[in-house]
Structures are given as C-alpha cells and as structure tokens.
Structure 1
Amino acid sequence: MRILHIANFYGDKSGGIRTTIHNLGHSYIQRGHEFTFIVPGSGFYCEETPTGRMIHLPSILIPFSGGYRIIRRNKDVKNLITTLKPDAIEISDRFTLSQIGTWARKRGIPAVVLSHETLSGLVKTHLRFSLTRFVNWHNRRLASRFKYVIATTQFAAKEFKEIGTPNLVTIPLGVDLVNFHPRNRDESLRTELLKGADILLVHCGRLSPEKKPERSMQALELLLQQGINAHLVYVGIGPLQKKLMQASKDLPVTFLGYVAGRQKLAAILSSADISLAPGPIETFCLAAMESLASGTPVVASKTSAVGEFLLLGSEHPVGAVFDNTALGYAEAIKDVMRLRSRNSDLARQCNQQAENFPWSATVSQMLRLHDDSQKVKKAQHRLRAA
C-alpha cells in the first residue's frame, strides 16, 4: 500500500507531529508498505530517510511561532498527490489542509485527518471566551471532508462526540519503549542537573502560550517558599523562551533548549524525580508518555488528556493532576513526592503503564482503517467494471 502523510507545523525542532510521522513511517515500511510524507520547507526538494521519502514544499514562516511553517500553496500538494498516486492519505493539519480531504475523495482516494489539537481549547486559550457555534460548524465541516476523523484520546474526541460525528475514531498514539526506559537513569547526569538541589523537576515541551510553561516556574517558586529544595529544568524551545529566561534570573532554573538526541532526552527524563506537563489543552502529550516509559511520574493539568494515562484513583497511580493554579500545581507536585517516598516500585509501574501504548498498536489500528478504505475502493472499481 502507498501511504501519503501531509503535515504542517513540522520542522527540525518540532515535537509531537514530527515524532508521530516518523514512528508511523518507520512502522509502515517495516510492514512492507510504501510511505511518503510532505512537509513545509524552504523550497522544493526530496530526500530518502529511514522513515520514508520526505518531500519539502515551499512554505510560509508563521510570525511569532518560534519557527513553524505552513505549506504555501495547496495546489502544490494536489499536484504531488496526482503524481504519487497514493492508496491512502493522512493529514496532520485540521485547518489549512482540510480541503485536501474533499479534493481526494472526488478522485477516489480515501483520506483521514488526525486531530492533534482541540479547537474549543485553542479558542478559549487565545480568545478568552468560547465560540461554540463556530467550533461546532468547523468540526462538522472537517468531518464531512474526510473518511475518518482520528482523535488520540477521549479528551480530543469530546468536541466531536458532542456534535454526533459518525466517522470519529479514537486511536491513541504510541511511545518509543526501546529508547525510553528506567534503565537510562544516569546518576552523574542527575547530579549535574540538580546543581545542589534535592528534587529534580523536568518540564519537557514546546515553550508556547497554549502550553502554559510559565506555570512550572510559578509552582517552583511556591515550593521554594515552603522550604522544598527543588531545581527545574526546561527541555524545549519556543516563542516564550526569552521571556521565561528573564523571569527565572533569581530562581534555580536551567534551560537546556532543544535536545536532538533521543538517548540524551531519555537519560534526562529517567533521571528526574517528576515530569511536568502543565498544558491545559494537551490532546495526548508524547513527552508525558515518554516520561512514564522512562519511569518518571507526571504532574499534569486536570483539563488536559494526560490524566487519562495516570491511573488516577487506582491503587497505584503514576502521577497527579492539578487545577490550573500555581498553588494547585505545587500541591500536586508534593503529592507525587510523597508517592515516590512510599512506593519504591513506582518507576516500574510508570513504565508498565507506558507499555500499554506501543506504536505497534497505533500502526495496526491505522492500517485497519486504510485496509477498510481500500476494500471499499476496490469494490467500487469492480462495480464500475461490471
């Protein structure tokens, strides 16, 4: 099968979408399929990669986004689709690329869209009020353009369920269980990052407004005031980086920037005491899942999807959630500190929970969708031939 994935907001230092595409591509190729992905670039060029053929198209740099780009012309995408003749199309952009779904359907090519974000959450974050009628209209239109809308969690699926979307499918993303594991814990690296502190907090993610990275620093200040000797490490870059660095001048905070090597990132996550995920509208949060795979419990916003993975309310939770306030955040961090102190098996339990989300399961479910599409497509061809 020839599978084509088209994405915006992809770059050398982008996070979740890049990781998702690479893992899907690698797994598709291992199972004997052909995989190509189209992403924004500085010009038009093609390269072969271990995760498939990557085609860059001329794009527009989005101001104040920290380097994100979107493909300049959908016409270029359509021309490539005509040339590549894919059997199935995957779209990772519910906004500027949504028209591709309708265009592809008219040409007999089944297309699915992955909803990596919640529109209702984005509206509330950036506009401070809800636009329910607009959100519902957009989501209905999006669903009508694709064979399936794929949500990665129940949280991501909620706004589509509320309008009765008939072609909604929930497929969780996966986690790299080979590279992320408790065995990567490095005591010398931990000592280096602690800089004399007792508790190592790691915030891994893009430093952008919708992810509320400043909340981790606000919680740290409260912990310090309560006599807890903690050090906060930020892993990632984004438009808020400079502002955060200025605000951290008198605080025990380290900014590591973008960490390219998976092994280095895995060592950082597994050497931390707690991983922080304050984004209030995260629809999956791969960094949180990678932290669990590394044996590190997670503190996350109670309004995001991350709580779905933390076994909250069970006998052995692997993290905690907070109410989107600095005080609530600090208290949740202390709850997990107490959890660590009384549960010597916590790292193994975190890793076991992550093992429920292998990429192999994600890929199997995606291929079942595509195979179903192919059966429908072939049946239609036979009817025409008859």
Structure 2
Amino acid sequence: MTETAQIPKRPRHIAIVSETFPPEVNGVANTLRHLCQGLMQQGHRVSVVRPRQHDENHAEAQGVGQALFTSEHLVTGIPLPGYPELRFGLARSGRLAKLWRRQRPDALYVATEGPLGVAAVSAARRLGIPVSSGFHTNFHSYSHYYGAGFLEKLLCGYGRWFHNRTAITLVPTRKMQAVVQGMGVHSTGLWSRGVDCMRFAPHKRDEALRRAWGVAANDRVVLYVGRLASEKNLQMASACYERIRNLHPKARFVLVGDGPLRKRLAERHPDYVFCGMQRGEALARHYASGDIFLFPSKTDTFGNVVTEAMASGLAVVAYDDAAASEHIHHEGNGMKADLSDDDGFIDAALKLADQPTLLNRIRAQARLDALDLNWSAQIEQFEQLVFNQQQRTKYHVLKQSIPLL
C-alpha cells in the first residue's frame, strides 16, 4: 500500500491563502471556488485569508462565504500594476502566526506568490504547519507582453525561491510540471482541474442571444472567453477570425470578458461583439451559443475556459499546451497546433469552419469527453497531495525530537 493511500479520511482544517478569490472572475478564483466547495462537502473546515477586494459587495461576499469557507480573514489590498482589478495582499507574518496559533490549521495551501503568500509561508514555517503552494499563474512569461522581458530571469528566480520554501508545489498539467521543474522547483505534484458539466452544457444554447449577436441559425459564431489582455495573444484570435470571415462573411466574432485591451479592440474592430464579463447561467448561455472556440494563449498554466467550452459542446482550437495538451485530441474532440505553429492554429480553425461534418462530430465528442472531467476526483487528489505533507511533517518533527542513543 502506498504512503498516500494510508492517509486517514477524517475532517481536517485547511487554510487557503490567495490574493484572488470569488466573487472575482478569473481562472484562479474559479479553481478555488470548486476546491473550497469540494473540501467543505468532504466535511473539512476551510478558512480563507485574502485581500479585501476593490468595490467588494458585502452581501455577495457573505453569500460566497456561506458556501465556500468556515471562516475568513481579510487583509489590506493594493492594486496589482497592470491588473487594477486584482490586488496584492499585505500582511505581517507575525499577524498570521497569531491567527493560526489561535485556530491552528492542519495544512496550508498558498495559491498565489505575492506578498501575502510570502508572509503566509513564513508564518507556517515558523509554526511547523505543513504548507503547499500552487503554480496557477505563469507570471514570468507575462513580462514579454508588457515590455519587461528583461525581468523574466528575475521573476523566474523569485518563483523558484518562493515555491522551494513550501513542501510541494501543485501544477495542473504534466507539461507545466516539466516547466516548473525546469525552473528549479524541487518538489511538485500533479493536480488537474475538473469542469461543472451541469452548468456548462449544450442544451443552454440560446437562439435569442445569437439573434442579438446578428447571426442566423446556420451562421458560425467564433467565440473567445477570457481576459482581454496582452498575454492572452488576442492578436492571433483576431487574425484567425479575419481569415474565417474572408471565406464565411456571415461569421461573427464574440468576445466574453473584460480587460485593458477591450477599448482598443472595440475601436479597431467595431463589428466584433463585446459582451463584457459574464457569470453563472449567463456565462453558460454565452458558451453554448457559440460554435468554434478560440484559445490562443501561450502563457496559461491550464485555462479552465478550454474544458468549459468542451462541456458546452464547442469545437476548441488551441495550442498544444496547458489544458489542451492534456484534454484535446487533434481532430478527435478539438483542434490543436504546436506552440510555434501560428499558421497551423489558423489552418485548424479554417478546417472547422469549412467542414460542418467535422465540426459537429468534434463538438459532440468534446461534450462526451468533458463528462469524465469531474471535480470530485480532483478534490480527492488534492487531499492526498496536501494532507500527505502533514504526515511527512509530523514524522520529520518526531524524528528530530528523538535523542541519539
């Protein structure tokens, strides 16, 4: 029997530290929503440490809290440069240590690498609390998209220092695991993502919404869902759509999300449909009302939108990276191209637009394959990886306390 299989299934207290959290809308917050829900459903106590969010709606935050955590500790937040919607958390490690002395967690999971994460890791190490971290955001790769590529080595070194201070770093794909190990991070574990196939489903297709976009029943909607920001490689999405429209003039490009590039894109492409940020059932209807889903990012560590699009019955076009590297089978349940093959990305999208039979077959298979990506299995994997660090820490402390004879 393996060591992880021996972990007793009993309720634990896990503290989750993150500089982004629901009701914020992004991949990290979405993942933490499902994680907290899953842990609570397993009977665990979940406490959250996060910054106070900008313009936070108290009633909405309370509603989130009732579903996602047992207790919450808010710290001061300041806007993240280039991402004013997100905030750095500021807290002294001594203050967090005082909090965790009163309500000691069995384990700590630090989801973000900012100042709050650094303080949390320091406090946990001081108290001997097992601490794990997550590699959710590829910040060192973002530097190239903001004219600061010279910072990549510095950011990579910071990430290596940060994650090596934790017992294990959880990564969402095997490809990202190799990247993180290549950075010099010593201990990594594979923790993937599920998708809510009850929420995201083909039957939520909304013909009235499609008419509002200006498309008829047989016209193609090319869809993008995500942040409208430089690191998402939106110029490729735009170039790809323009090639499709040259051959299929009635196709429309619909973008769901917000970000710093929205104004520039809207001015340059007034014919594109900008839907802004969508949540819940409205988001599910927007997904299901598309046909071809473009995911041009080369920086995402996973990309929850890929599996959400699959669950919604869309044909995904992506690079062979992140979620697509694990879950997309070329011309089986989606289309993918090598990271260096921009022409291949466009050709894959054109093939879908030109071949309705292939498009429909891929859409049906994407939904079927998404049904296997449930969150319950991922919650169990998280428990094994994170709570196993508790067993190791206890053993290490016990061994150190035994005098040599």
What's the TM-score bracket when you normalise by the shorter of the two chains?
0.7 to 0.9
Structure 2 vs 1, CA of residues 99 and 73 (structure 1 numbering), >3 Å: closer, same or farther? closer
**CA positional deviation for 1:5:** 0.7
Alignment equivalent of 1:37, drawn from 20, 29, 48: 48
Deviation at residue 160 of structure 1 after TM alignment? 2.3
Secondary structure of residue in 1 paired with 2:47: strand
Counterpart amino acid of residue 157 in structure 2: W
Give the match for residue 118 of structure 2. 98
Out of 67, 70, 74, the residue aligned to residue 50 of structure 1 is 67
Distance 1:20 1:295 in 2: 21
Contact in 2 for aligned 1:86/1:109 (Cα 8 Å): yes
Correspondence 1:257-268 to 2 at 5 A = 257-260=276-279, 262-268=280-286
- Alpha-carbon distance between aligned partners in 2 of 1:37 and 1:247, rounded to the nearest angstrom: 42
CA distance in 1 between counterparts of 2:181 and 2:284 reads 36
Match of 1:358, as an amino acid?
N
Residues 336, 345 of structure 2: 8 Å contact kept: no
Q: State the match for 2:173 in structure 1.
A: 153
Distance 1:340 1:149 in 2: 43
53-62 or 303-312, larger mean C-alpha shift: 303-312
Q: Does structure 2 retain, via aligned residues, the 8 Å contact 1:154–1:305? A: no
Secondary structure (helix, strand or coil) at the match of 1:67 reads strand
Deviations 1:359-381 (A, max 9, x none): 11211111012331232344456
Alpha-carbon distance in 2 for matches of 1:143, 1:60: 23
1:295 aligns with 2:313: yes
Does structure 1 retain, via aligned residues, the 8 Å contact 2:135–2:171? yes
Name which of structure 1's ranges 303-312 and 39-48 shifts more when overlaid on structure 2: 39-48
Check 1:280–1:104 CA distance in 2 against 1; reply closer, same or farther (3 A cut). Answer: same
Match of 2:298 among 280, 286, 304: 280
Is the Cα contact below 8 Å between 2:22 and 2:30 reproduced in 1? no
Give how far 1:325 is off. 7.8
Q: Secondary structure at the match of 2:88?
A: strand
CA contact (8 A) 2:91 2:119 kept: no
Letter in 2 for 1:235: V
Q: How far apart, in 2, do the equivalents of 1:62 and 1:128 lie?
A: 15
**Once superposed, what is the RMSD of the aligned Cα atoms?**
2.9
Contact 2:304 2:323 in 1 (8 A): no
Q: What is aligned with 2:274?
A: 255
Tell me how far apart the structure 2 counterparts of residues 8 and 333 of structure 1 sit (CA, whole Å).
Answer: 36
- Identify if the C-alpha distance between structure 1 residues 62 and 378 changes in structure 2 by more than 3 Å, giving closer, same or farther: closer
Report Cα offsets for 1:251-301 as digits up to 9, x if no partner.
2x11111112x2221122122111111111111100111000111111123
Once the two structures are aligned, what percentage of the paired residues are identical? 22
1:375-386 to 2 correspondence within 5 Å? 375-379=391-395, 384=401
Alignment partner, residue 23 of structure 1: 34
2:383 matched to which residue of 1? 367
User: Distance between the aligned counterparts of 1:244 and 1:132, measured in 2?
Assistant: 27
Within 1, Cα distance between the matches of 2:84 and 2:288?
27
Larger CA deviation: 28-37 vs 186-195:
186-195
TM-score using structure 1 length: 0.87
> How far did 1:91 drift?
0.8
Q: Is 1:7 equivalent to 2:25 in the alignment?
A: no
Q: Does 1:84 align with 2:103?
A: yes
User: What whole-Å deviation, never above 9, does each CA across 1:173-210 have from its counterpart, x for those lacking one?
Assistant: 11112211222223333333343581101110011221
Q: Is the CA contact (8 Å cut-off) linking 1:42 and 1:59 kept in structure 2?
A: yes
2:134 is matched with 114
SS in 2 for 1:361: helix
SS at match of 1:49: helix
Cα distance, 1:58–1:185 mapped onto 2, change above 3 Å: same
Give the unaligned 5+ runs of structure 2: 1-11
Quote the residue 2:192 is aligned against: 172
Matching of residues 64-79 of structure 1 within 5 Å: 64-75=82-93, 76-79=95-98
Q: Which moved more, 1:352-361 or 1:288-297?
A: 352-361
Instruction: Give the equivalent residue in structure 2 for 1:235.
Output: 256
Correspondence for 1:211? 232
What SS class does the counterpart of residue 231 from structure 2 fall into? helix
Q: Distance in 2 between matches of 1:207 and 1:7?
A: 22
Residues 133-176 of structure 1: CA distance to partner in whole angstroms, max 9, x if unpaired? 54553343223210101111123222222256431111111111
Give CA deviations for 1:47-66 in whole Å, capped at 9, x if unaligned. Answer: 44211134332211224414
Q: Distance in 2 between matches of 1:164 and 1:71?
A: 26
Summarize the Cα distance change of 1:215–1:16 in structure 2 as closer, same or farther, 3 Å threshold.
same
